[in-house]
Amino acid sequence: MKFASFRFLVYTVVAVWTILLNVYLFIYHYDSIALNLKNSLTNKVSSQQHIFEGHDSYYDKENGVEYSHGDYNKETNHKWAFSSDNNMLHKFDPYQYEPVDTSIVNHKTFDLYQMHTGIKDLRGIRPTFASNYETIFKNHPNPDTILGNLNFKERCALYFQNLFITDHNWYLNPNEDLPLGRYNFPYAIELDEFEFNNWRTHHYEELKQEYIDQEFEGDDQSSITDAQYEKFMMRKFEEFWNTTLQVEQRTLDSITHLRIFNKCFLSSSDPKQLEETNHFIKDQKELIKTIQGKDYLPSFEFTENEKMAKLDSYRICSSLEKRIYPWLSLQHPVFEKWTGEIELAPPQYNNLHNKKKYKSSTPATPLQMTDCFFNDMRKSMNGRGIVLTLGDVHLENTLNLIRLLRALGNMLPIQIVYYDNISGSSKAKIVKTARETMRDFPLSIEKIRHLLPEGYDLGLPVQNIHFVNLFNVVNEQYKSKFDGYGNKLLATVFNSFEEFILLDSDVVLFKNPQWFFDNSKYKAGGALFYKDRATTDKRPETDLFLLKSLLPNIIDNAMFGFPMVTEKTLKNDAFEGMYHFMEAGVVVLDKYRHLNSILMLPQLYFMEPLSKRSHGDKEFFWFAFAFNGNEDYIFNEYRAVAVGEVKPDRRKDNGELYLAQELCNSHPAHIDDNDNSLLWLNSGFHFCGKYDLVDYENDLNYQGNYYLQTFASQEEMKNYYYSPINIRHAIIPPFSGANYLKGPNTQGEPEIAWQMLHVLCHDYMWCTYSSIGYGDTFQNGTVIEFDEDQHSYFKYLGDIWVGLE
């Protein structure tokens, strides 16, 4: 009895202690978790709302269930949340659901690593990382064993060993179906369809018919309720989101494989980058020991499966390269000199601005072997030059640009890169324009003779031209992947210059090309970019999540030293939600320094989740740098401007003058942010860059809405469209940031800085304003008036480009 009483007493004490402990946890711990979760989800819902039509509750007539705030959808196990702001039900952000085990990044090692290094993940999203890391850390649950013991080449081996263990046949497939948020799902085709209300609106009728066909099969449809159909819609939307998350994870996996391969096997051929990596590993090992307070760490042991994947063979770099770049044929382009000589190796420009490369006396180790094609290519790069892409359809603009380069005194060699064949007659016209004696000048030269160097009249410099045929650099089965903008990306990778200026064929330069290499921003970063117009086109929140998820994360940093993204990138206009950020008509790059980032360009082009989130190729350049953890790119501060003639004395209907000055044309231009000089413009030099496509009868009838003058006939208008732009002014429109693109007012002043006229110049005429808004919403830009010498010089270059006598 005494024993039983004692046992009862013990049980009672344990039970009471357990109850008290749970009460404590409930009050002080779980309430805190619940509050944090509630705040997190509230923030997500407020920033991105997936709207489920209904009111403060949703009654499912079929099942007799009413869903209200905080209730679950019994079928999908997802919560609904009520928003008092608009009296609608909102589905929680699907991005809260994690395709990988994110507890990995919460391991104390990574917490302590961030605390001691000061490194922070500033992306503001849930943890994202390649699924291969999940495999690695399941095999090695204590990250200390990796970070404290393995050198860089051992970490590289570990990564790809686990990739092979998971899938012996892995490779980055350029033909993989990774559509924009609709993997095997046919409905999502618009950028805004990641929000439920937009998706529902776009597909209401087709999905309703699908529901009828699936559920009723010709039976009486009068019993269909709105609740049944809405439930079906939400289920379909959830299917869409599940596949979206899968596709985005696969996109992240591919980009991670690519950047790790490039750093492991291509950067190792650059002694400077190799030295930086070795210092990183050495310092990190010491840090891990300091954090743990030990002179030694638990040893690292490869698993039996990892040991079976042998990655120490002599040809490992080339073997992996074929899986990372399966589209690569491992052949160099064919180089054809202007004389007709054919070369199978890159031309030598060593006498032209050749840079000194780092040299290394360190013997190569197995994981540093330079047996990769791109390592060989890096060694063959030399000199500075200009790169143009060409097809027969671009011939006229290319000839105009070559004349202009001669007038500017260009002495840099030019590589004209093409992917499909161009005709012999096109090549002959280019050679003639580049090499013939050029002493006959337009009459406009008379006003600028005092600005020209001595001997200018003796003849403009001939151009050193090579035609570069890229057709053989791509494997046969992937040749169709490089149509359109793909040609330009290939030209970025396969030109043979160490440093180059990439020009669109319709670009007009106002500076000698050497100026761009001498620019202080280019010298600082080795990558000089220019910004696009500040239009009001915005990205949905889901775009921004995907882009941020592809940036290096804390595991990338700890394992391989990829720098974490900083506010330099996260605070740019694109991550503030603007759809158009970069204009890629002129790109200036040090390819030797930034080869890894440049090699990411074609891979991004293959991925529909990214290619559909960019207008053409232009955003890919800075995307590639950012995704590679490389923030050494620098943008000219000014966004694109308008050049031409400001319309004088613009008056409102009541006779008052507008505060805003207006300038309309079809050419985005760029002003140097240092001295306000004009650098370049796009879309050629004709007043209307699409003059040959214009419906002149239509434009003539519309002329009263814009022109500084009226035209008596279509022929007179056509001549004006064909003539060079008369550049007297530039308007740098107001831009206070992505959140201040509009200036609403009741005074009739412009509310946006760029207004597209959807009639004139084949629907490509923009009007730009020196200010927007009025009163509290007023924002002011800058109007530049060029002096008479500048105006005359622009007139001369325009006549050269257009070919006027």
Q: What is the mean pLDDT of residues 32-56?
A: 33
Is the confidence at residue 792, as pLDDT, over 50?
Answer: yes
193 contacts 199 by C-beta, under 8 angstroms: yes
pLDDT at 766 > cutoff 70: yes
* pLDDT tens digits for range 168-225: 999 999 988 776 654 344 444 455 666 777 777 777 888 878 888 777 665 556 666 7
Backbone torsion region of residue 380, taken as left when φ is above 0, otherwise alpha when ψ lies between -120 and 50, otherwise beta:
alpha
Compute the average pLDDT of residues 396-403: 96
Identify which of 87, 94, 84 has the alpha carbon closest to the alpha carbon of residue 44. 94
Is pLDDT at 67 greater than 50 in this prediction? no
Q: How confident is the model at residue 36 (pLDDT cuts 50, 70, 90)?
A: very low
Please state, in angstroms and rounded to a whole number, the distance separating the CA atoms of residues 196 and 724.
48
- Which phi and psi angles does 388 have, rounded to 5°? -120, 145
Q: Is 145's pLDDT higher than 90?
A: yes
Contact 540, 191 (CB under 8 A): yes
Selection from 87-101, 171-185, 295-309, 590-604 with the highest mean pLDDT: 590-604
Give the model confidence (pLDDT) of 257-279 as tens digits. 999 999 999 886 677 788 888 89
* CATH architecture of the region 329-353+369-531+582-601: Alpha-Beta Complex (3.90)
Across 504-524, average pLDDT? 97
What number of other Cβ atoms are within 10 A of residue 230's Cβ?
17
Helical packing angle, 226-261 and 541-549, nearest 10°: 30
- Confidence band for 763, pLDDT divided at 50, 70 and 90: confident
Which residues 6+ apart lie within 8 Å of 646 measured at CB?
661, 662, 663, 728, 729, 731, 770, 783
Question: Exposed, middle or buried by CB within 10 Å (0-12, 13-18, 19+), for 307?
Answer: exposed
Burial of 333 by CB count in 10 Å (0-12 exposed, 13-18 middle, 19+ buried)?
buried
| Higher-confidence position of 352 and 397 | 397
pLDDT of residue 451: 95
Kindly state the tokens that stand for 296: 């030694």
Averaged pLDDT for residues 602-614: 86
The DSSP element (H or E) to which 299 belongs, if any, is none
- Cα–Cα distance for residue pair 670/636, rounded to 1 Å: 9
DSSP 186: S
Does residue 201 or residue 655 have the better pLDDT?
655
